[in-house]
Chain A
Amino acid sequence: QSVLTQPPSVSAAPGQKVTISCSGSSSNIGNNYVSWYQQLPGTAPKLLIYENNKRPSGIPDRFSGSKSGTSATLGITGLQTGDEADYYCGTWDSSLSAGGVFGGGTKLTVL
C-alpha cells in the first residue's frame, strides 16, 4: 500500500488530453513539492515535473503539473503513442525517516 494514491490506469486516444491524480496528506504533499516521473517499458524512470509544476530542460510543454492542498495532478495534452508508460508521483514525507515516498504508479494507455 503506497503512501500516495494514484489510479492504477488511465487511457485516452491519440491527440486527446489525460490527467493523473496523486493524493496524499499534510505530512507529504500538503507541505512539500511534488515531482512526477515517467517510466517507459524496460527503462529507468525519468523526471517529468519537479517542484509541482516545473519542467526540466527537454520536457515538452504537453506535460504539466499542479498541486492543491494534499493532492497533485499531472496533465498530458496531445497524447502520442510514445507517451504509453507508467507515471509516478513522488514527494517528501516528514513523518518518515527515509523521507521519500512514491505513488503506486499509473499505467497510461494511448488507444
Chain B
Amino acid sequence: EVQLVQSGAEVKKPGESLRISCKGSGYSFTSYWISWVRQMPGKGLEWMGRIDPSDSYTNYSPSFQGHVTISADKSISTAYLQWSSLKASDTAMYYCARLYGDGVDYWGQGTLVTVSS
C-alpha cells in the first residue's frame, strides 16, 4: 500500500526556521516525483514545487521560489519542505503528494504549520 506520512503539526514564531517531512512507503521512492502543496485557511490548493528524489532536482512555483527549500533523502525515502525565516503568512496546511503523469495520485495527510508571535 502506497503511503505518504507527514510529520506532525508545528507552532512557530515569526523569523524561526522549520523543516517538515514526508516519508514514502509501499513503492519505489525514487521512481516518482514528490510535490508540495499549500492550503491556507479556508482557501484552495496551491502548487509550491516538486522534487525528483532520484537526483534531488527541483522546480519551484515563482510564488514560492526563494522562500522555501524542497529537498529529499532517498536513503530514508523522505522528502522535506524547509523555511529559514517563517512569516505569519506561512500559516497553512501543507501537503506532500506523489506525482503521476500530469497530476497527483497519492497525498500525505497534511502538516499544519502555525506561525504566531
A21-51 interface with B by 8 A CB criterion = 32-35, 37, 44-47, 50-51
B47 lies within 8 A of chain A by Cβ? yes
Please determine whether A98 and B61 come into contact, CB atoms closer than 8 angstroms. Answer: yes
User: What is the count of residue pairs linking A and B with beta-carbon distances less than 8 angstroms?
Assistant: 80
Contact pick for A98, options B50, B107, B108, CB 8 Å: B50
A2 lies within 8 A of chain B by Cβ? yes
Please determine whether B95 and A44 come into contact, CB atoms closer than 8 angstroms. Answer: yes
The distance in angstroms between the C-alpha atoms of A21 and B69, with both chains bound, is 34
Interface of B is mostly: strand
Distance in angstroms from B71 CB to nearest chain A CB is 15
Please determine whether B104 and A37 come into contact, CB atoms closer than 8 angstroms. Answer: yes
Please determine whether B44 and A46 come into contact, CB atoms closer than 8 angstroms. Answer: no
Q: Please give the number of chain A residues whose Cβ is less than 8 angstroms from any Cβ of chain B in the complex.
A: 28
Distance in angstroms from A12 CB to nearest chain B CB is 21
Residues of A within 8 A of B61 (CB): 96-98
Please determine whether B35 and A100 come into contact, CB atoms closer than 8 angstroms. Answer: yes
- With contacts A100-B47, A100-B99 known, what are 20 further pairs, Cβ within 8 A? A34-B103, A35-B104, A44-B95, A47-B104, A47-B106, A51-B101, A56-B105, A86-B44, A88-B45, A90-B103, A96-B61, A96-B62, A97-B59, A97-B61, A98-B47, A98-B48, A100-B104, A101-B47, A102-B47, A104-B44
Top 3 A-B pairs, shortest CB-CB distance: A35-B103, A98-B61, A100-B47
17 A–B contacts from the bound complex (CB under 8 Å): A32-B102, A33-B101, A34-B103, A37-B104, A44-B108, A44-B110, A47-B103, A47-B105, A47-B107, A50-B103, A51-B102, A86-B44, A90-B103, A97-B59, A97-B62, A98-B49, A99-B59
